[in-house]
Amino acid sequence: MNDKKNIFLYIPIVAVILGSLYSGITVFNSAMTTIEKTSNDVELLRKDLGYFEAEMTRTKDEFTKELTRTTTLSAKSTAYIEASRETSYKLEDTVRQNTYDIKELTRQLNGGW
């Protein structure tokens, strides 16, 4: 009879131990699953970051090229404007001189001084 009492005494203890082991294993598996999922997410984030870094570098290079092209074009335009201005001044002087020459020629043809 004493053995039956001991068995009934140990059943709750064994049940608690088995329940604790089950809970521990469940928590451990859940933690491992979470760690694995988080590791995969971190790896995906690293890949995305690498992609965005490459895109930023490519975009920066394209922007630099475009800015250089625009600056060069602006410098050429400024030089063209300055050359046109110089040409217009020379043309104005030539037209003025031709006007004086035509007036002088007209005066001489009309019997001038």
pLDDT digits (tens, 9 = 90+) for 43-89: 999 999 999 999 999 999 999 999 999 999 999 999 999 999 999 99
> Chain-centre distance of CA 43, in angstroms?
22
Q: What is the pTM of this model?
A: 0.49
Structurally, the chain folds into a number of domains equal to 1
DSSP state at residue 106: H
Residue 24 counted as domain residue: yes
Residue 60 counted as domain residue: yes
Residue 99 counted as domain residue: no
Residue 32 counted as domain residue: yes
- Domain holding 51, by residue range, is 1-68
Residue 7 counted as domain residue: yes
Residue 102 counted as domain residue: no
Using only C-alpha atoms, the chain has a radius of gyration, in whole angstroms, of 48
The average confidence (pLDDT) of the chain is 90
Query: Amino acid identity of 1?
Result: M
pLDDT given for residue 22 in this prediction: 92
